[in-house]
Amino acid sequence: MADAKPDGHTIHLASSGALYFSTQFRKAPVDPFKDFKMICMVGRLLPAVFVHQDSHIKTAKQLVEEAQKNPGKMRFATPGRTSTWGIAALAFASRNNIKAQDVPAKGGAPARGLIIGKQVDYGVFGIHLRSGFQDQIRPLGLLFPERDPNNKDVATMKELGVNYTQVFTPMILMAPKGVSDERMGILDAACKKMTSHKAFVRLMGKAGLPAKYKSGPETLKYYKELTTTWQPIVDELKKAMKKKKKS
């Protein structure tokens, strides 16, 4: 994508949290800020803490309290250790002084499966993965300061008075860095029109995904600010991984 002809006809829909984190834990061939231009933000994926529907743990505060009383005994599922939700889960544990064993799966659906199969005590993955499985998994709280418009019944950790770090993934349309500013403006205008269209909002809602528009310049500023807040978490995780490797 970064090497595509910069004519504005080849664009990339990026899960930008995953894109950024993937460049932090390996030698990546691209940099989201050096190799791409931001057209606009079209939506965002938000994480939540889940338990099995039958779990005796009823609230986020109860989960934190039990985990603190039983260090190292709880197990939690994530879609991958260095995935966006994996990092959100590790940040949640760190902020609440939780010592628990992470069980990385290969994706959100497999992580959800670990909860359904009662192989873990809790899990962290996208709130949209609740859709269709409401009778099997139960969200304890959203790791975001605002409620998700498609899951308005799920309170935020902020509302619940539980510590969290805002780790999520804005869905961003990007173009190769060589695309002209004029063409970027045309694409951004089209993006704004698309995200406000009833059919787009309806389609996103059906998938459990909220439509959320930000212009190209707003998106760039927002994305950079987010990666700045994420850097301490990345550094902490790198340090822990290095320590584990040595031992």
- Give the domain-ending residue among 160, 194, 209: 160
Task: Give me the count of residues in the chain.
Answer: 247
Per-residue pLDDT of the chain (247 residues; tens, 9 = 90+): 999 999 999 999 999 998 999 898 888 899 999 999 999 999 989 999 999 999 999 999 999 999 999 999 999 999 998 889 999 999 999 899 999 999 999 999 999 999 999 999 999 999 999 988 999 999 999 999 999 988 999 999 999 999 998 899 999 999 999 999 999 999 999 999 999 999 998 888 887 788 889 999 999 999 999 999 898 888 887 887 777 666 6
pTM: 0.86
Rg of the chain on CA atoms, in Å = 19
Its domain, for residue 195, covers: 12-44+169-246
Identify whether the C-beta of residue 142 lies closer than 8 Å to the C-beta of residue 166: no
Distances, alpha carbon 176 to alpha carbons 12, 34, 40, 78, 215, in Å: 9, 10, 13, 32, 17
Amino acid letter, 147 = R
Number of domains in the chain: 2
Alpha carbon 151 to its chain centroid, in Å, reads 16
Tokens 């909220």 — which residue? 210
Spatial separation of the C-alpha atoms in residues 219 and 37, rounded to whole Å? 10
- Whether residue 5 lies inside any domain: the answer is no
Whether residue 58 sits in one domain with residue 95: yes
Residues 121 and 67 in one domain: yes
**DSSP per-residue string spanning 174-211:** EEETTS-HHHHHHHHHHHHHHHTSHHHHHHHHHTT--E
Shared domain check, 56 and 125: yes
Tokens of 156: 């935020």
Quote the CA–CA distance of 91 and 112 in Å, as a whole number: 19
Asked if 54 and 152 sit in the same domain, the reply is: yes
